[in-house]
Structure 1
Amino acid sequence: MAQDNLQTDGLTAKISYYRWPIGIVLFFIALAIFNAFLAYLAYSGRRDRVVENPYEVGLKYEETIRSKALWNSLGLRLESSFGSPDESGLRTVNLVITPENRELDLPSSLLIEIERPSDARYDRSSRLTLMGDGVFQGSLDMPLDGLWKMTVRIKFAEQEAVFQEQVLLQD
């Protein structure tokens, strides 16, 4: 019994003697793991692009602003609903667009673009068809739940109206 107590005291003495060196080594191991995690986050998401022609990017941005302003000036309201995914990851998408002006004719189809903010691999676009009375329906490959950025593009005559919204999908 006394022998066991001596072995335990010897182990505690060694741990207390090497406490600071062990703590320092563990700190640097934790720091290396944290740096590896930060590097993984930095390189796994979307890549930055070097723009060769910034003037065209500026014109595109102005066009986007005009498209959003057209959506607002037409008084369009959007309600979206997404069904549960089937085995292949396809979800049924229903968009209800109601114009303030009831005489406004909606086109027979519109373009919807879905982006995953954290991962460009899941970016998709699809054309939804008009089912009647402002209801557009189609299917999109959205296998994951979470936050998605939805962009709806609808053409009226020569102009394009754009609506952007963030959608949180949960099943």
Structure 2
Amino acid sequence: MFSNLLVSLGVGVALTFVAFVLLYKFARLSGKHVAIIVIFAVIGIYVPVSIISWPGADVFAIHIALYVITPYGLGIIAAAWEARTHEERQGKWFHWGPLALVLFFIGLVMVDATIITLSDKGMSQKMASLLLPEPQAGGGVVTSFFPGTVAHDYQKKEALYNDYLVQLEEQRARGWELHRGWTTQPVAGSPATFRVEVRDRDGQPIEGAEVGVEFLRPSDERQDASVLLREQGAGVYEQEVSLPLAGIWSVVITVQRGDDLHESRGTTTLAAAGGE
């Protein structure tokens, strides 16, 4: 519903504008009264919808701001028109003050909408090459994309956190030990073997497990990769992995055997191709 910010803003503003015009024309109320009615109606509709499908505080705030500013600005314009009509000076009923106020808030909202859109989708590589500086290390890829890895749904976050605490306590009681890392120096764009060795609290190898590894790019989730390691025997699991970008990656390792689940998190750093 909120995947396209500009569309939802445009449609919402258009509906708010139509509602104001129709109510002002047929209800024969003053512009201020119509503005108040439309503002409360918009809040009464949008807030429950947002609670059901929470888009995030930033997106919620920018929608509410624009949806409220639209009838507010129309109310100012209508009030100015009414005042000048009452004074029988209809030749220049639209004062520059209301226009400047409305344009200011529209410009502010559009800037915020652009920032949110860029943080969610990122800019194209062509635009990035024109506007963003070259990587200092050379040979890298500049991105404006921010993944937004924190879930917007607070109920979902609470449930996940509670599950994580239970899992963490079970891991401590189980006492498994993980030794993980690359067998050679990893280089961006080149395959390298990632190995995980799993042993129980007595040092015995954990065999017959399913070991998965997620490589997460903090600056761009579109580069994330997941691999399933192959068992080599004696609790050793490994697989060749090729990651596209140099720099720091977050690593999440999961070991599943039956109902037992063990998770380990860390980071790894890849060198740039050619030693750049």
TM-score (norm 1): 0.62
CA distance in 2, matches of 1:68, 1:106: 21
The answer as to whether partners of 1:115 and 1:149 remain within 8 angstroms in 2 is yes
Letter in 1 for 2:181: S
Task: Report runs of 4+ in structure 1 exceeding 6 Å deviation.
Answer: none
Q: Does residue 1:78 correspond to 2:194, yes or no?
A: no
TM-superposition CA deviations, 1:69-106 (whole Å, max 9, x none)? 33332222222222355895332111112222345743
- Within a 5 Å distance, the mapping from 1:1-171 to structure 2 comes to 43-47=144-148, 51=152, 53-82=153-182, 83-84=184-185, 89-102=190-203, 105-170=206-271
The answer as to whether partners of 1:92 and 1:139 remain within 8 angstroms in 2 is yes
The number of equivalent residue pairs is 133
Higher relative contact order (CA 8 A, sep 6+): 1
TM-superposition CA deviations, 1:97-152 (whole Å, max 9, x none)? 22223457433321111101112122111111221111111122312232111111
**Structure 2: 5+ residue stretches without partners:** 1-130, 133-141
Q: For the aligned residues, what is the CA RMSD?
A: 3.2
**Structure 1: 5+ residue stretches without partners:** 1-35
The answer as to whether partners of 1:112 and 1:125 remain within 8 angstroms in 2 is yes
The alignment-based identity, stated in percent, is 17
User: In the TM superposition, what is the alpha-carbon distance from 1:49 to its structure 2 partner?
Assistant: 6.2
TM-superposition CA deviations, 1:3-62 (whole Å, max 9, x none)? xxxxxxxxxxxxxxxxxxxxxxxxxxxxxxxxx76xxx99422236663x4323211222
CA distance in 1, matches of 2:242, 2:143: 26
- Bigger Cα displacement from structure 2, 123-132 vs 76-85: 76-85
